[in-house]
């Protein structure tokens, strides 16, 4: 595939490295400096690309996705913190008959973890001796809090046990690529169920898998739908 990378940060650099190892071609890389308001996302710049992969900033993603919809370039985005604009972006995808796959987390392990967390919440439902909460930790440069995966984890837990809130505590520091933990705590015992990413490669591999899957499709999809068919 010929890939257009929108964003030149940590994630898209990891994706570029893996993509080349897998025989894909980096058609173009669009940087933050040249694309503050999506002005670099033009037909001439993107002509010949099969799929765009967008990893930028929470406040920039939706405008990029609207421009990519108008160009009818299938797009995978992993940017977090923009889902309040999903209805607008989904309408644009439908109007232009384009394709989008979005996920706050492209680790297959995390997608399985979210499903297992929902089942865990079902087991603990009604056990009021246990207090339940989520802790998520990321590197100091992460801009959004709670993390998109933390919010997805909270939603998965609430779908297993609607009586609890599952409040999220966010820790920011160092170089942590992403750790999420569900805790159930009673006076004399504690249960911790966690997922820990050891590197960005896991997200890069998932995003590339999604790009390969999305080429030639039309509509708005999540990574979860791609992996498991139906939504959880």
Ligand X SMILES: NC(=O)c1ccc[n+]([C@@H]2O[C@H](COP(=O)([O-])OP(=O)(O)OC[C@H]3O[C@@H](n4cnc5c(N)ncnc54)[C@H](OP(=O)(O)O)[C@@H]3O)[C@@H](O)[C@H]2O)c1
Q: 61 vs 132, which CB is nearer to ligand X?
A: 61
Regarding beta strands 99-102 and 131-138, do their DSSP bridges make them parallel or antiparallel, or are they unpaired? Answer: unpaired
Task: Name which position in 55, 113, 166, 184 contacts ligand X (CB under 6 A).
Answer: 55
Report the C-alpha gap between 93 and 87 in whole angstroms.
Answer: 10
Number of Cα atoms under 13 Å in the Cβ half of residue 129:
6
Closest residue to ligand X: CB criterion? 9
Nearest to 49 by CA among 35, 22, 30, 21: 30
Q: How far is the CB of 105 from ligand X (least distance, A)?
A: 4
Report the C-alpha gap between 150 and 83 in whole angstroms.
Answer: 14
Q: 32 vs 219, which CB is nearer to ligand X?
A: 32
Q: 129 vs 171, which CB is nearer to ligand X?
A: 171
Alpha-carbon distances, residue 211 vs 17, 58, 159 (angstroms): 15, 20, 29
Alpha-carbon distances, residue 145 vs 78, 139, 150, 170 (angstroms): 15, 11, 9, 6
Pick the catalytic residue from 27, 102, 138, 180: 138
Task: Name which position in 58, 72, 218, 219 contacts ligand X (CB under 6 A).
Answer: 58
142 in active site: yes
Q: 64 vs 154, which CB is nearer to ligand X?
A: 64
Question: Does 28 participate in binding ligand X (rule CB under 6 A)?
Answer: no
Task: Name which position in 46, 65, 76, 80 contacts ligand X (CB under 6 A).
Answer: 80
Q: How far is the CB of 130 from ligand X (least distance, A)?
A: 30
Residues touching ligand X: how many (CB under 6 A)? 29
Task: Name which position in 1, 17, 26, 31 contacts ligand X (CB under 6 A).
Answer: 31
Interacting residues with ligand X between 198 and 227 (CB under 6 A): 203
Pick the catalytic residue from 24, 102, 142, 180: 142
Question: Does 103 participate in binding ligand X (rule CB under 6 A)?
Answer: yes
> Read out DSSP for 3-49?
EEEE--SHHHHHHHHHHHHTT-EEEEEE-STT-TTSTT--HHHHTT-
10 in active site: no
Q: 140 vs 163, which CB is nearer to ligand X?
A: 140
Query: Annotated active-site positions, please?
Result: 138, 142
Binding site for ligand X (CB under 6 A): 6-12, 30-33, 35-36, 55-58, 60, 64, 78-81, 103-106, 142, 203
């Amino acid at each position: 595939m010929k890939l257009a990378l929108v964003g030149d940060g940590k994630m898209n650099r990891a994706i570029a490295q893996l993509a080349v190892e897998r025989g894909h071609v980096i058609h173009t890389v669009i940087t933050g400096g040249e694309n503050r308001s999506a002005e670099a996302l033009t037909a001439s710049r993107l002509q010949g690309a099969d799929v765009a992969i967008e990893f930028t900033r929470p406040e920039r993603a939706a405008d990029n996705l609207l421009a990519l919809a108008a160009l009818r370039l299938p797009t995978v985005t992993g940017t977090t913190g923009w889902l309040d604009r999903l209805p607008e972006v989904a309408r644009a995808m439908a109007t232009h008959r384009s394709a989008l796959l979005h996920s706050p987390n492209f680790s297959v392990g995390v997608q399985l973890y979210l499903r297992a967390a929902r089942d865990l919440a079902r087991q603990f439902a009604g056990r009021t001796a246990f207090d339940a909460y989520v802790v998520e930790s990321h590197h100091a440069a992460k801009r959004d809090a709670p993390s998109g995966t933390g919010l997805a984890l909270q939603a998965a837990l609430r779908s297993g046990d609607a009586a609890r809130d599952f409040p999220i505590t966010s820790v920011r520091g160092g170089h942590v690529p992403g750790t999420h933990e569900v805790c159930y705590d009673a006076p004399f015992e504690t249960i911790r169920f966690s997922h820990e990413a050891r590197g960005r490669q896991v997200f890069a591999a998932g995003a590339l898998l999604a790009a390969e899957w999305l080429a030639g499709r039309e509509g708005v999809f999540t990574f979860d739908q791609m992996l498991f068919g139906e939504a959880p």
